[in-house]
Amino acid sequence: MKVEDNFEKRAYKICLSSTHGTGKTTLAAAVERELKARGIRSKRVEEMATKAIEKGLSINENTTFSAQMWILYRQFSEEVLYAEKRPNPPNYDVIICDRGPDNYGYLKHRFKEDLYMKDALEDVLTLTLTHMKLFPYDRIYLLPIVETKVVAYDGLRATDLSFKKEMDQEIRNFFRENNFPYIELPQPEKEDKYRDEWTKIIANQTLLDLKKPATYFMK
């Protein structure tokens, strides 16, 4: 994947994509921390599902069309807010997006069997693809499913493993069908409890794309 070098005008965008409960939020914070430690002005765009729950909206298997659209619009609007360099601060060199087009995947999964929603889904797909064209991600990282046992419900992430796997496939299909290259992160070693290898992969690739010297890289 070739990254266009016009970062004087816009921020470098990272998308962390996957089904739920894979560690995106923790990873986004770790990458942000490592980049900031190297003088790279970095900003996390937080996932909107948590904020949706705070507003009483349904997510996961029971999401509604309006709830998922709210999540999608909020996610994209936050990305747009920080995407371009502005005359006034704050400005960022790197944006780390906790989710991205996978929000569309949840909408499609919920309503793809509903014939009455066919046109609406096509419209939302067009919206998603247009956003990714106008405000592109420089690197998309796909996190694999690591936890294969049922976990306790935490009020946010669905615990149904079959649903988790279905969403993993839905997201992969989206990237494949729309020709978006992505980097799939490896299954972590058992002792890599905090996914340090993932952080290293993303931080070093970002520093390489930004043409930073080797002394900046994580060892």
* pTM for the whole structure: 0.92
User: What value, to the nearest 5°, has the Cα angle with vertex 42 and ends 41 and 45?
Assistant: 150
* Domain boundaries 12-210, CATH class: alpha beta
Identify which of 13, 72, 82 has the alpha carbon closest to the alpha carbon of residue 47. 72
Confidence of residue 159 (pLDDT cuts 50, 70, 90): confident
Q: pLDDT tens, 108-149?
A: 999 999 989 999 999 999 999 999 999 999 999 999 999 765
Q: How far apart are CA 37 and CA 215, in angstroms?
A: 13
CB 9 within 8 A of CB 84: yes
CB 15 within 8 A of CB 98: no
Q: pLDDT tens, 46-80?
A: 999 889 999 999 888 889 999 999 999 999 999 99
